[in-house]
Amino acid sequence: MRIGEVARRSGVSARMLRHYDELGVVVPSGRSATGYREYAPADLRRLFEVESLRSLGMSLREIAAAVDDAPGRSSPTDLVECADHPHPRADRRGTGTAPPARTRAAGAPRRLGCGARRRRAAA
């Protein structure tokens, strides 16, 4: 199956699929005679593993190591079992503790977005 069909079926953009290919995270099984990427069912399974691990907040480097079958590497299951440990990027994904909120200096004017200005003007 070609990249467009994989993108439609998986919800992952063709651009992201090309990026995964360049990084070696999800490499298509082959190429057609005209150079198009050809994905096999095993490639789709790997893609869904990658997307699942991304949703946990893992970096692509960590994911590449996790889905690689080389000896001495962590398996996806090992990494998912360790998901209760906070990840440095977890706060950006909404799964961890957020960094402390910035506070205004005493007496500093409060910024209002355009929606707040309209509400204030209407009142």
pLDDT digits (tens, 9 = 90+) for 67-106: 875 455 555 556 555 555 555 554 554 544 444 444 445 5
Burial category of 83 from C-beta neighbours within 10 Å (exposed 0-12, middle 13-18, buried 19 and up): middle
CA distance 104 to 58: 33
3-97, which class in CATH?
Answer: mainly alpha
In degrees and rounded to multiples of 5, residue 84 shows phi and psi of -75, -10
pTM over 0.75: no
CB environment 15-50: b (16+ within 10 A), e (fewer): ebbeebbeeebbebeeeeeeeebebeeebeebbebb
pLDDT, position 67: 80
